Amino acid sequence: MPAPFADAQARDAFLREPRLAILMMNRAAAAPIGVPVWFEWTGSEVLMFAAAGSPKVKRISKDPNVSVLVTNHINEAEAWVAFDGQVTVQEDGVAELIGRLGARYWDLSDPAKQAQLDSWVQAPGATVLLQLSPVRIRSGA
């Protein structure tokens, strides 16, 4: 089967599209757990955000080893990119990231969506930035 991406530029173009990612984390139970997240690929890091007290942040604080999987849309050729590594949790930069991702994933002309986004940004400490500097990037089709 041919590689889904001819080079890093093709992979990065795939990742610039507004796609959901699945953040897969370890947990105390036998099986890992995955949750959908908005993300931004900077070319060297995967950035995400979460509520500061959320179960995902609690899991990451216990075990920062994660995998983030991004897949094709239903009507696209099959392709995926996975990033493996350790996530760091930080407060700096989260408001800016929320603003960028909100504009990427939502139509902010909808007042309800804009209000939801504003509520996330205007609550200092309520959200945190999740930063993954991957040690391995995998892709396939």
Question: Are the beta carbons of 64 and 27 closer than 8 angstroms?
Answer: no
Question: What are the tens digits of pLDDT across the range 3-26?
Answer: 678 888 999 999 999 999 999 999
Spell 77-106 as b/e; 16+ CB within 10 A means b. eebbbbbbbebebeeeebbebbeebbeeeb
DSSP code of residue 45: -
DSSP code of residue 77: P
pTM listed for this prediction: 0.92
Question: What are the tens digits of pLDDT across the range 99-116?
Answer: 999 999 999 999 999 999
